[in-house]
Chain A
């Protein structure tokens, strides 16, 4: 028989195991998309919020939560997605940002710089995750996934992804 103390902290530690399938170094708690865990008679409900509206990883993440918690003995795991308050890159943990950089993706700047409607706005200054130079330029505002933009370093010449401010 599986016995476990049904406290939220334990469930949160299990949720650490679930990675963003598109950025596999980040757990969903690093990303800041777990809003709450509610326990109803030992049956957990996990409240999550999407990063981007169309992020295809959300369905996989929801399935991952159910699988992981079920494998730890929980029954009838429920995952609910809420939109409000809106997720922004500020919800990402400092630990998450450090992991992103280590992985070669520039983490989001602490303050949103270009999330407005003005055209031809100057490029956001982004630090190269490889050589730490700020001498970089944007290649495209859209990248390999909805959350990333494509940059290149003018010093070490390496192209890199930037987890864009949102």
Chain B
């Protein structure tokens, strides 16, 4: 049961943190339609996070989604390191979203067959939204990659910044083996090859080379984060910390 709770929190935390990151673009997008697009994606992700948190709260008992999101410290967060990386420029945000959506699409395809009915239902509901995110971010990677010299260079910089955080998605955390064994969770190692193949196809169209032999960071899924998460939580949790139990 503990493994299932941790696994559900991992799914929740990753979507919450990426949602929080994307929401930083609100009012700052390069053009209005794209500002709306990235904040819509943010909203979808926070919706998914809420579903996972509500389910985790039920499994834990005697708590609720807000307490879990607002009152845990960074070492308790189990999100992917990729999700907490800074927005950088538009290209970096797009690439982070693309890497993630490509992974999440493959993940949800399998999670919707989970033996756990609630996890399966959340995935089945969310995968349609993920397909929107995947199309949108994938198209932008291509558009920027084979766009102007400037946009191409920015995509190369983005790949340089983010590639080292992609390996973690496919390394199972300690709580993942039990949930995979009981067919409630997805075996992430099996997603690596299909993910890489999809990325290669997109990168080829975007005239970007897939990096090789890059050191891969990991630890986020086990609560060991980059320096960025603390700052995100400081902002995200401020109201509940300053005014405990406040609601609106």
Residues of B within 8 A of A140 (CB): 33-34, 36-37
Q: Is the CB of B47 within 8 A of A142?
A: no
Q: Are A150 and B33 in contact, with the CB atoms below 8 A? A: yes
Question: Counting CB contacts under 8 A, is B200 at the interface?
Answer: no
Which parts of A94-153 form the interface with B (CB within 8 Å)? 115-121, 139-144, 146, 150
- Taking chain B's interface residues, is the majority helix, strand, or loop, or is none over half, making it mixed? helix
Residues of B contacting A139 with CB < 8 Å? 33
Question: How many residues of A are counted as interface, with CB atoms below 8 angstroms from the partner's CB atoms?
Answer: 27
| Chain A binding surface, main DSSP class | loop
Give the chain B neighbours of A115 by CB distance below 8 A. 128, 131
CB distance from B123 to the nearest CB of A (A): 10
Give Cα A50 to B43, complex, Å: 14
- CB-based contact B131/A54 at 8 Å: no
CA distance A87 to B33 in the complex (A): 26
Kindly identify which residue among A55, A117, A120, A142 contacts B105, using a CB–CB cutoff of 8 Å. Answer: A117
A119-B142, A143-B36 in contact; A83/B125 too (CB < 8 A)?
Answer: yes
With A53-B126, A84-B124, A142-B37: A119-B47 Cβ-Cβ less than 8 Å: no
In the complex, residue of chain A having the shortest beta-carbon distance to the beta carbon of B45: A54
Question: In the complex where A119-B138, A121-B135 touch, is A53 in contact with B129 (Cβ < 8 A)?
Answer: yes
* CB <8 Å contact, B121 and A84: yes
Interface flag for A52 (CB, 8 Å): yes
Query: Is B36 touching A142 in the complex (CB atoms < 8 A)?
Result: yes
* Contact assessment for A142 and B40 in the assembled complex, using a CB-CB cutoff below 8 Å: yes
Distance, CA A96 to CA B139, complexed state (A): 33
By the criterion CB–CB under 8 Å, are B129 and A52 in contact?
A: yes
The bracket for how many chain B residues form the interface is 20 to 34
Does B187 have its Cβ within 8 Å of any Cβ on chain A? no
Q: Are B126 and A142 in contact (CB under 8 A)?
A: no
Let me know if B33 and A53 touch, CB within 8 A: no
* A166 within 8 Å of B (CB atoms): yes
When the two chains form their complex, are residues A142 and B131 in contact, meaning their CB atoms are under 8 A apart?
Answer: no
In the bound complex, CA of A144 to CA of B35 (Å): 11
Which residue of chain B lies nearest to A149 when distances are taken between CB atoms in the complex?
Answer: B132
Chain A residues whose C-beta falls within 8 Å of the C-beta of B125 in the assembled complex: 50, 53, 83-84, 86-87
Cα A33 to Cα B56 with chains together (Å): 24
Q: Are the CB atoms of B117 and A146 closer together than 8 Å?
A: no
Q: Is A24 close to B, CB under 8 A?
A: no
Residues on B with beta carbons closer than 8 Å to the beta carbon of A142: 33, 36-37, 40-41, 132, 136
Question: B135 and A141: CB pair below 8 A?
Answer: yes
Contact A118 B135 (CB under 8 A): yes
The chain B residue with its CB closest to the CB of A53 is B47
In the assembled complex, 12 residue pairs joining A and B whose CB atoms fall closer than 8 Å, in A order, are A52-B129, A53-B47, A53-B122, A53-B126, A54-B129, A84-B117, A116-B131, A117-B105, A117-B134, A117-B135, A140-B36, A166-B128
